[in-house]
Amino acid sequence: MTSFLEKRYIAARINPEEITIHPEPAVSILRAQYILSDFQGLSPKTIPMPKFDSETNAIDVVKDLPDQVKGHTSHGLTPYLCPVLITGPSPGGLGAETAISLAHGSPANIILIGRDVEKCQSTANSVQAINSSIKVKVVQAELSSLRSVRKAARAILNDNSIPTIDAIINNAGIMAIPLARNENDYEMQFAANHLGHFLLANLLIPKLAPRTGRVVSVSSSGNIYCGVNWDDIYFRNEGSYKPMRGYSQSKTANILFSVAQKKRGVRSYAVHPGSIQTSLSRHIDLDMAEDITRTIWGMSLHEAMESPEHTRNPGLEDQDGVFLSDRRPSTDALVVKSWSLDEKDAEPMWMLSEDLVGEAFDF
């Protein structure tokens, strides 16, 4: 019998011996999140870079970088003004484990956005059981519904207790589902995985911290299966839809979004962590959830120090890119295809997405 890993390798056309599987995906978000805020008052040459590997768990990362978790950032805002926003925080998933691990570092604020308020509240309760002083805000939103996303964004924009956001983590997603469409008649994986996050993140840009704020999109090596089906992006043609084709298209769109958003001056990244099993995989055998944390935090420190008053971190010098894998920018064809990084496709995807959500974004 073919194992679930073998099925994944066949589907993704990858040599299984060259795959690294990270046992705890929440580590990725957390590693990224803490270096998100640079070390106050220190030259990057004097900052000791933490040593993380695939054996590091998420709580280890939190404890190793306590000041970053608490929001001690160089932009001068107090911890209570520097929340992290996470979509898709249902219990047992990557978003929830990220929030729960963050709680061990005593951040002041966490914003959870999800479809099921009760599930979000369950995660919020788990966070506060670790540290009751953490303020957790739960906002209801169905990411596949543009109307619902707009309502959630308005609630956050109008909330005076959230003057700024340090990180928007686009984590929510669905994978390899049977053909379905949202209220606008868009293919469901494209709507939920890409369009909802495209709209949410861009609407919230006014509240993103100006120097250190990040948009982190959970992508996947699933982008290598196929690119964007430009001739039939909505899968209208009979027989054109395949669950993994729809998933791969949405993950490619995530990366193209980061390419285009970064070109517009936003510190935007798409992240691949490896493979773990969560409820995302209920429609197939393996979840391709992502290693957000470890990767972004190495890059975030580098990016935060790029301003004229700082020299670059020598350990990350001359590195650039939007797709991050194994703690660094990557163009490795085993995890990301050239079609996912092509600016010539990123701009049409941006314009198409603006048309589909009914709003143009000019930063």
Annotation: CATH topology of 26-357:
Rossmann fold (3.40.50)
Nearest to 29 by CA among 61, 54, 51, 53: 61
Residue 82 contacts residue 166 (beta carbons within 8 Å): yes
3-class secondary structure, 354: helix
Catalytic residue from among 9, 241, 247, 269: 241
Structure confidence at residue 275 (pLDDT): 52
Q: What is the mean pLDDT of each run of 10 residues along the chain (363 residues)?
A: 37 34 42 39 39 56 58 43 85 86 83 98 96 95 98 98 91 94 97 98 96 87 88 94 95 95 94 56 36 37 26 36 78 86 95 98 88
SS (H, E, C) 158-205: CCCCCCCECEEEECCCCCCCCCCECCCCCEHHHHHHHHHHHHHHHHCH
Cα separations (Å) of 105 from 63, 77, 131, 247, 277?
6, 18, 9, 34, 25
**100-to-103, 124, 126, 132, 313 alpha-carbon distances in Å:** 5, 8, 7, 12, 30
Backbone angles phi, psi at 113, to 5 degrees: -120, 125
State the pLDDT at residue 25: 45
DSSP classification of residue 108: S
Q: CA-to-CA distance for 123 and 89, rounded, in angstroms?
A: 7
Neighbours of 27 (CB within 10 A): 30
- Cα–Cα dist 175/245, whole Å: 10
| Of residues 201, 308, 327, 310, the one with CA closest to residue 264 | 201
What is the sign, positive or negative, of the torsion defined by CA atoms of 146, 147, 151, 154? positive
pLDDT at 291 (0 to 100): 40
**Token pair for residue 79?**
């911890």
Please give the pLDDT value at position 32: 42
Say which residues have a Cβ less than 8 Å from residue 287's Cβ, sequence separation at least 6: 175, 275, 276, 277, 278, 279, 280, 281
Longest CA–CA span in the chain (Å) reads: 60
Per the annotation, the verdict on 80 as an active-site residue is no
What is the number of helices (H) and of strands (E) in the chain?
13, 8
Backbone angles phi, psi at 202, to 5 degrees: -70, -35
Residue ranges covered by each domain of the chain: 26-357
Q: How confident is the model over 181-218, as pLDDT tens digits?
A: 999 999 999 999 999 999 999 999 999 998 878 999 98
In angstroms, the Cα distances linking 239 to 174, 178, 179, 242, 245 are 21, 12, 10, 8, 12
